[in-house]
Amino acid sequence: MVITTTIAADSNELLHSTFASRYVRTPVPRFKMPERSMPKEAACQMINDELMLDGNPRLNLASFVTTWMEPECNDLIMTSINKNYVDMDEYPVTTELQNRCVNMIAHLFHAPVGDDETAIGVGTVGSSEAIMLAGLAFKRKWQNKRKAEGKTYDKPNIVTGANVQVCWEKFARYFEVELKEVKLTEGYYVMDPVKAVEMEIGWDTPIHVDAASGGFIAPFVYPDLVWDFRLPLVKSINVSGHKYGLVYAGVGWVIWRTEEDLPEELIFHINYLGSDQPTFTLNFSKGSSQIIAQYYQFLRLGFEGYKRIIENCMDNTRVLKEGLEKTGRFGIVSKDVGVPLVAFSLKDSSKYTVFDMSESLRRFGWIIPAYTMPADAKHIAVLRVVVREDFSRSLAERLSSNIEQVLEEMDSLPIRTSTKSATVSGELENAEGKKVDKKTEREIQEEIIQYWRRLVDGKRIGVC
């Protein structure tokens, strides 16, 4: 009788609308698991109601991460969502698809492998894990070399630009590696190779390329740019499949130049799942969906498809940039050659700042970050728009229109008593406090080129 009564009560609840049921009359559980179950319809509705307050992923222009895929790929993802990637013996085809992806990326990056040879690499949950693995390989190789030479091996270091993603700082802190940062300068917001060389010791310094965003851009639109394994000192490269690899969040890749660049002692061999399985990851269990989705994109788009998509992203980037320039109110900080994004600052922020603009654009649905540049350029504040595959020309034009509308509205507001400085200064001060003209970007680039030429000319004798 008790069971029958309970069923009858629950059935009676299902006769009513979710919003008329008892489940929406009490606060949503936040700290403790509820004592009783609820109908699946009610649980789904309550969660959906809260999720409505999230931003629209496609209007989130802060992120490089893919927010749209074809319905056919979505179906493949749902079909394989219950497969555990690490069960290689149980899901051999999924493992084979991962290996195919590694081989394709390795050839895309000009790794020295033959057409029928297996490349060295692994799928990860993103570039952060990929960077940790590559960094560990570097550290272990360095330690082994120092041990063989009878030298100390307790103080490894790595040289990066101050503009790198926070995962590099995590790697250095978690794995006890000294991080040497090359500070940025106004007008030059990438790592200065001249300063980087000054921090390095010796000419046999291995290079890891963090190609999280650009790895799936350069091969398709800048084929003559030599940045990958064509450079002999490049030993490993990471790339994010969930950025311009065009897959939803949760997949990255790391590729090593040769088998010798990945120390064998870092690879674990397990057999309790049915067969010997070599593994080099920081995670164990993870889904197979993103690996399968990556292979779908490679198979579906091919080189031609990726090239067209990236070219379209670059075209829409130019449309947005031109719209901003027409206002006469912004300084464009980003470059035309690079990843498809536009970073721009207000020429005059005496009345309002880019932070104010970011907040005002929210009411149109746009999520556009405002932030200050890294060390030694922190006085520069910018807005940044990342142009992804699903950011169409019509959206670029609409965003330009909304930005103009925000400018007009904020111009009509009274001047604030204090604002956060966010302008690009046209003058610099020397050590004596005298104002001097800053060097142009072209002058900085020419200076770097001449420096490298002198450096190389001086080292040619006796260098193989």
CATH code (residue 295) = 3.40.640.10
Taking the complete model, does pTM exceed 0.95, yes or no?
Answer: no
Q: What is the pLDDT of residues 66-111, one digit of tens each?
A: 999 999 999 999 999 999 988 888 898 999 999 999 999 999 999 9
- Output the pLDDT for position 242: 98
What's the gap between Cα 185 and its chain centre? Answer: 23
Tell me the per-residue pLDDT of 323-371, one tens digit each, with 9 for 90 and over: 999 999 999 999 999 999 999 999 999 999 999 999 999 999 999 999 9
**Do 101 and 124 have their domain in common?**
yes
Q: Do residue 137 and residue 276 come from a single domain?
A: yes
CATH of the domain at 378: 3.90.1150.160
The whole-number pLDDT of residue 454 equals: 55
Question: Domain containing 284: what range?
Answer: 72-303
Same structural domain, 135 and 224 = yes
Of 394, 412, 430, which residue is a domain's last?
412
Domain count, the chain: 2
Give pLDDT tens digits for 31-51: 999 999 999 988 999 999 999
Mark whether 120 and 84 lie in a shared domain: yes
Residues 323 and 295 in one domain: no
Q: Of 303, 336, 364, which residue is a domain's last?
A: 303
Asked whether residue 296 falls in the same domain as residue 202, the answer is yes
| Statement to judge: residues 264 and 348 lie in one domain | no
Q: Average model confidence (pLDDT) for the chain?
A: 87
What CA–CA distance (Å, rounded) separates 102 from 255? 7
Same domain, 132 and 179: yes
Residues 164, 77: one domain?
A: yes
Domain boundary among 251, 273, 303: 303
Q: What is the Cα–Cα distance from 159 to 180, expressed in whole angstroms?
A: 5
pLDDT value, residue 463? 34
256 vs 14 pLDDT, higher one: 256
184 shares a domain with 84? yes
